[in-house]
Structure 1
């Protein structure tokens, strides 16, 4: 099967880092690619066929029904065995990420449409960690047929029944801080800054930074510093003393009715290692990316206001690669 869009991207990044010897070209930076294990789209096909899920998933009335269908289904035995072998040597927290055929397409990317799950992977028993991992894989598969994904497929001229999903198991970067796992910073960079600070050039690009894990950037939570790369001393967003920290509780009560999503916690800003951001500046929408709209029924003084419709997206931070991606088809 295919590695999916995101999986192909990881393989490409790995080849670029190696072939261009980037670590030596820029020794002041630690340029690394996440270590990962891939369940190719062939596993998805086998899972859907084994459990006869295609028509029930397409006919489901809401996301809750889709979730229940996939939670009650079972992965192929050989896939479960492969995941168990993987966990026998992997005890660090994991991100279980989507990598669909449509994802990361050049003209119609599906960034942020499908689900990612972060697992503490800290239970003492491999069987407990395996149950959590199998659940997360099935939930990523389920997101293929959720309402948001299907609406986006329709809007971009794709067909939900033709989509196939690979899954990436990626080691998370970070460290244990008294039972809470998180990196100092996480973020995403863009080549165009759609929200530059006053006087900043939108073509210089931007980055959005958050404390802890990257889900706050991906989910569009207002807990992010937005920084224009051409004017990094003029960010905007909450000051560093008000930025919460997204973390995984390594000792959450696994099992029973608990799900790995219950391990997500938000810590106060003063829990983090000391991080300083530049002073906050005022944001101004770039005229190049805004459009004037007149909306019937609104008062005259707001007609022609510049607006931007935007949805946040991003990735969790990279971790050092120790091997080329492993693939199960």
Structure 2
């Protein structure tokens, strides 16, 4: 399967706060919040949802094409992605702006406060997905992740017109979308990704019920943190896939992106959606144990062991032939 991954490319500034944000909130003062949290750790890492997903796909042996807008400081990051197997030829480089910045503080309860600076991502609307697809010989699936809203809409419409499978993943940008644009991004998608909060926000933004959304998409994948993942399709019972447990929670940043990498890789190999979701959960647990979204070690034996411990012997054996090919 030829997969294009569109969305943000960013540098992550990840900080840790040794306490709970909620302990600092005063119920009757929430209209005027002015808080400062003294972090005791800072890690500067490569990130961005599209780059993270493309990196994970490449680590699983695929050759995804990354499509997004990066800044004048992208050279080192570009070399890193290429070395991992990501095709970055279609990344647009701004002549004046720096690569986007994601600044996130995580407390001891894994709550997060984050700010995102768009930078070069604001120019993503200048990317012509149709020209990229023609140059590459076409795509089987285009993943439209969080990006400049105009770029997301443009990529979505281009995929529809070209008859390319669409994976809609508006995530953080739902907060910036009105009802019309939210509907445009979702309607007709082969795959729809949200977490639980985003699922509720999507219903509010579109004005559609859960049934309305399922009437308009193929498979709706909802990530639920420690409770795993739900897979929903019109006219079928919802399938719940348990998370792969871990006792070494280090940083939740990028965990959802890792799930998407594993899930999309499984689908590209022709796996059933449940098996693909199990791989996604296994890869997500690896990233949860790592600081940084692309610094994890990926070993076939470790992934297979995680799958077997959570989903059983047969589930692991079903995946083993493909995962054994990982270097």
- TM value normalised by structure 2: 0.28
The structure, 1 or 2, with the larger RCO (C-alpha pairs under 8 Å, 6+ apart) is 1
Give the helix-richer structure, 1 or 2. Answer: 2
TM normalised by structure 1 equals 0.27
Larger radius of gyration: 1
